Amino acid sequence: MTHSPIPRIAFHALALALLAACTSTPPAPPAPSIDGVAAVTAIRAAGGAASTELDVQPIRDPQVDDLREDAERFEKSGQHEQAIAALDQALQLNPDDPALLQERAEAALLVKDLAGAERFAKLGIERGSKVGPLCRRHWETIAQVRQARPVPLEAPGETVADARRERDACTIAAPARY
């Protein structure tokens, strides 16, 4: 008695189809769990200047200031993407302004762009003063990002506590005046 290969092929095809149905793509990483408004509020509070603290303010470009004001209006009305566009346009005019980079980092947090927020804050640290209110805002931004990451990094120097130590080190008393 000869057996037809058709049932055997059909059986194997069915088994392969069932196995393929059992495989699944890995789950997407969890979305960042961050309240952007609360994070930005905490960042701006960390940057509050004390009257006894050294706080250096650069000379501002009027065109950049107009774009900053536009961004602030957009942010207040909840139009975060428009605020980002205004800040990006300002950064084209003045890409090395640490305050502008910080504002862009905060705008990134408002749309839950953790990588962008951290990148802009780190650029602000590189290009700005290592002391004062703006320095604290940069480091608090990094702390907020690290705290919100779905899978926190635990590499040395990459913890929330490390960022907050750096933030606290930004406070320098102003020189005594006589």
CATH number reported for the structural domain that contains residue 155 in this entry: 1.25.40.10
Does residue 113 fall inside a structural domain? yes
Structural domain that includes position 101: 33-169
Is there a domain that residue 42 lies in? yes
pTM for this model (two decimals): 0.76
Residue 5: what residue type? P
Would residue 76 count as lying in a domain? Answer: yes
**Does 26 reside within a domain?**
no
Handedness of CA 108, 110, 113, 118 (dihedral sign): positive
As a whole-number percent, the residues of the chain with pLDDT over 70 amount to 71
Q: pLDDT (tens digit, 9 = 90+) per residue, 53-111?
A: 666 666 778 899 999 999 999 999 999 999 999 999 999 999 999 999 999 999 999 99
CA angle 11, 17, 23 (to 5 degrees): 140
Residue predicted with more confidence, 1 or 91? 91
CA distance 36 to 38: 6
pLDDT digits (tens, 9 = 90+) for 139-159: 999 999 999 986 655 676 788
The pLDDT value given to residue 176: 72
- Does residue 79 fall inside a structural domain? yes
Please tell me the distance from the alpha carbon of residue 31 to that of residue 17, in angstroms, as a whole number: 32
pLDDT at residue 51, as a whole number: 60
Is residue 27 in some structural domain? no
Please, which residues have CB within 8 angstroms of residue 149's CB and are 6 or more apart in sequence?
Answer: 32, 114
Q: Is residue 3 part of a domain?
A: no
Domain total in the chain: 1
Distances (CA, A) of 110 to 35, 58, 118, 137: 8, 26, 13, 15
Residue 20 lies in a domain: no
CA nearest to 32, candidates 131, 148, 136: 148
| The predicted structure's pLDDT at residue 19 | 52
